[in-house]
């Protein structure tokens, strides 16, 4: 019998208009955005950047590149979205699972064995991937800060895949070459440094898009192709994170600005709906590191991959992206050097259980 979380996500793919209202498209350059408005109930939570600014959450280094420790002192539920990046510690990281932390002391959540934590559930071990290949030293202390830069869709696709750490590094290096960032501008091959090098251009594009009333997310088209969607069960979370989310998609628009655009023969709304209805997704579900279930999904043809966190019969964060060069991606995902690659540190990257 399918879990309630999988049934929820399947029903969204069957009929996304049951959950979302599609607003009119906004176009600037080679990027088109459909603002999304959530239908139905919302959830009350704050995002990790808000909690960090209020001094109510701390993200701390561990001995493993794939694990971070979060200490939550907030009296509200805190969302750490999939694809958020954090700066500091021994290497910059990205979080590759949406995590909803309970309000302080309200509910016990899963903690990985082998780590000490308070009995009230304040400390949670969360999964991470490195986005800075050539550093393993502390700059200031073991703490991290949210960077307000989101992982770009192509790197996010690989972060969700079984390809492993090496594939994410490979994509970051490819991005640096394609958007023409000099080695000296990102000496540690940091995704954050690479992206900041193009920040003015990213901001120039992002600032042209306007939020609509009660907006909760976006569907994005680049050069006439639907490339991804991200939305939240809380319009305030979207308002707080909208610039960084649009910025991640803008990275792909800048990367592909010289490529020919596909002729649009149908309305953007119809393209959006038909993509979901014809996606042919496979679904898996597991308990999240925080509240709720993590549902992952990928299309049978390898073009699409996504993730959502289901809690209280609501999708807290929904993220789906397309990988254009699927043949190349398949080779990367099947290549053992990317699954088992050893980073230049005195330990091997632990395999995900």
Would 25 be classed as within a structural domain? yes
> For the segment 179-193, what is each residue's pLDDT rounded down to a tens digit?
999 989 999 899 999
Task: Tell me if 76 is assigned to some domain.
Answer: no
The answer to whether position 27 is within a domain reads yes
- Residue range 304-321, pLDDT digits in tens: 999 999 999 999 999 999
pLDDT value at 15 more than 80? yes
Torsion angle, alpha carbons of 246, 200, 131, 144, to 10: -90
Report if residue 113 sits inside a domain. Answer: no
Count up the domains in the chain and report the number.
Answer: 1
Q: Residue 143 — very low, low, confident or very high, per pLDDT cuts 50/70/90? A: confident
Q: What's residue 179's pLDDT?
A: 96
Secondary structure element (H or E) that encloses residue 225, with its range = strand 225-232
Contact 252, 154 (CB under 8 A): yes
DSSP state at residue 97: S
DSSP symbol at 346: S
Tokens 């980073």 belong to 343
Asked whether residue 132 is assigned to any structural domain, the reply reads no
Range from 105-109, 164-168, 259-263 carrying the lowest mean pLDDT: 105-109
Decide if pLDDT at 343 tops 90. Answer: no
Q: Give the three-class secondary structure for 42.
A: coil
Asked if the model's pLDDT at residue 280 lies above 60, the reply is: yes
How high is the pLDDT of residue 115?
35
Backbone angles phi, psi at 216, to 5 degrees: -125, -5
Residue 138: DSSP 8-state: -
User: Average pLDDT in the 12-29 region?
Assistant: 96
What percentage of the chain carries pLDDT values higher than 90? 67
Mean pLDDT of the chain: 86
* Alpha carbon distance 254, 250 (integer Å): 6
Structure confidence at residue 313 (pLDDT): 94
pTM of the model: 0.88
Residues 238 and 272: their CA atoms lie apart, in Å, by 20
pLDDT category at 299 given cuts 50, 70, 90 is: very high
328 has pLDDT over 70: no
Please tell me which of 69-78, 129-138, 157-166, 324-333 the model is most confident about, judged by mean pLDDT.
Answer: 69-78
**What does the pLDDT look like over 107-139, one tens digit per residue?**
444 444 433 333 345 788 999 999 998 887 776
| Within a domain: 224 | yes
Is 73 among the domain residues?
Answer: no
**What is the percentage of the chain residues whose pLDDT exceeds 70?**
85
* pLDDT exceeds 80 at position 221: yes
Q: For residue 9, is it within any domain?
A: yes
CA–CA distance, 135 with 5 (Å, rounded to integer):
39
Query: Given CA atoms 79, 3, 298, 281 in this order, what sign does their dihedral have?
Result: negative
pLDDT band of 226, cuts 50, 70, 90: very high
Residue 205, token pair as written in the block: 């594009």
Which of 128-142, 160-174, 201-215 is predicted with the least confidence, judged by mean pLDDT?
128-142
Q: Print the domain residue range for 37.
A: 4-50+152-339
């Amino acid at each position: 019998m399918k879990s309630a979380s999988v049934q929820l996500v399947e029903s969204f793919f069957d009929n996304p208009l049951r959950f979302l209202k599609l607003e009119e498209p906004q176009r600037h350059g080679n990027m088109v955005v459909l603002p999304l408005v959530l239908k139905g109930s919302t959830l009350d939570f704050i995002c990790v950047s808000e909690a960090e600014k209020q001094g109510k959450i701390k993200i701390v280094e561990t001995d493993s590149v794939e694990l971070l420790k979060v200490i939550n002192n907030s009296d509200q539920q805190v969302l750490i979205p999939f694809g958020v990046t954090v700066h500091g510690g021994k290497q910059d990281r990205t979080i590759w699972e949406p995590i909803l932390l309970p309000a302080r002391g309200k509910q016990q959540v899963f903690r990985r064995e082998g780590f000490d934590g308070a009995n009230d559930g304040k400390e949670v071990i969360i999964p991470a991937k490195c986005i800075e290949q050539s550093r393993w030293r502390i700059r200031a202390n073991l703490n991290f800060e949210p960077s307000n830069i989101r992982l770009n869709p192509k790197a996010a696709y690989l972060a969700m895949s079984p390809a492993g750490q090496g594939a994410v590094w490979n994509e970051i290096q490819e991005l640096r070459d394609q958007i023409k960032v000099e080695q000296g501008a990102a000496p540690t091959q940091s995704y954050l440094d690479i992206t900041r090098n193009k920040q003015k251009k990213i901001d120039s594009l992002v600032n042209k898009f306007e939020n609509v009333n009660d907006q909760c997310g976006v569907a994005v088209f680049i050069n006439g192709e639907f490339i991804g969607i991200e939305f939240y069960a809380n319009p305030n979370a979207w308002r707080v994170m909208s610039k960084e989310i649009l910025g991640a998609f803008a990275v792909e628009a800048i990367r592909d600005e010289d490529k020919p655009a596909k002729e649009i023969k149908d309305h953007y709304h119809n393209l959006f709906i038909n993509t979901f209805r014809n996606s042919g997704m496979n679904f898996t579900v597991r308990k999240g590191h925080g509240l709720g279930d993590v549902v992952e999904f990928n299309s049978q043809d390898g073009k699409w991959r996504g993730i959502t966190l289901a809690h209280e019969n609501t999708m807290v964060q929904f993220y789906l992206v397309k990988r254009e060069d699927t043949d190349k991606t398949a080779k990367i995902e099947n290549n053992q050097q990317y699954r088992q690659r050893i980073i230049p540190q005195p330990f091997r990257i632990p395999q995900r259980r």
